């Protein structure tokens, strides 16, 4: 194992701890689940009554920017945009609605609450992701 491998393990561990702590603080602080699709959807549909949601979203973006700044890699890489990107985004949005949430809500928060619905949804998310990678080959 190299130093770079050790750093990746540490970064993953630290990131997971920060996500878990923020989800715990949100549910203890105001009783809400840290499901990103629900937070963004409700912030857009009711912008005036969602101050905490907008702060949460801004915090996510600022946290990512801070991480990139600290690592000295502010150069973002964007894939070429073609129909597949828009199709993939639409399918994710439809799946989020059908599944009543996204991986952050079900996978991070729901499994921690031992929700059978969230465990089922996360297993389905992962199975579809594995099949997609097997088909697409990336």
Q: What is the pLDDT of residue 54?
A: 92
CA–CA separation, 135 vs 138, rounded Å? 8
Q: What is the pLDDT of residue 22?
A: 86
CA–CA separation, 110 vs 101, rounded Å? 10
Domains of the chain, by residue range, sit at 1-77, 79-138
**Residue 83 or 61, more confident:** 61
Q: What is the pLDDT of residue 119?
A: 92
Q: What is the pLDDT of residue 77?
A: 63
Q: What is the pLDDT of residue 85?
A: 78
CA–CA separation, 124 vs 102, rounded Å? 11
Instruction: Give residue-wise pLDDT tens across range 70-117.
Output: 877 656 666 677 777 788 888 888 888 887 888 778 888 888 888 898
Instruction: Give residue-wise pLDDT tens across range 42-58.
Output: 898 888 878 889 998 99
Nearest to 129 by CA among 97, 79, 81, 92: 92
Three-state DSSP class for 65?
A: helix
CA–CA separation, 103 vs 110, rounded Å? 9
Task: Look up residue 73 and give its DSSP letter.
Answer: -
Task: Look up residue 50 and give its DSSP letter.
Answer: -
CA–CA separation, 31 vs 35, rounded Å? 12
Q: What is the pLDDT of residue 58?
A: 92
Q: Model pTM? A: 0.70
Q: What is the pLDDT of residue 116?
A: 92
Nearest to 116 by CA among 22, 124, 40: 124
| Mean of per-residue pLDDT scores for the chain | 82
């Amino acid at each position: 194992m190299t130093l770079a491998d050790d750093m990746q393990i540490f970064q993953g561990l630290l990131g997971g701890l920060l996500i878990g702590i923020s989800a715990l603080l949100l549910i203890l602080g105001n009783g809400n689940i840290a499901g990103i699709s629900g937070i963004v959807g409700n912030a857009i549909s009711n912008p005036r009554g969602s101050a905490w949601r907008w702060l949460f979203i801004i915090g996510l973006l600022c946290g990512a920017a801070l991480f990139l700044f600290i690592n000295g890699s502010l150069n973002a890489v964007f894939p070429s945009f073609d129909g597949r990107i828009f199709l993939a985004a639409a399918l994710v949005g439809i799946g989020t609605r059908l599944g009543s949430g996204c991986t952050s809500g079900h996978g991070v928060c729901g499994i921690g609450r031992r929700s059978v619905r969230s465990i089922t949804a996360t297993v389905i998310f992962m199975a579809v992701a594995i099949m997609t990678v097997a088909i697409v080959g990336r």
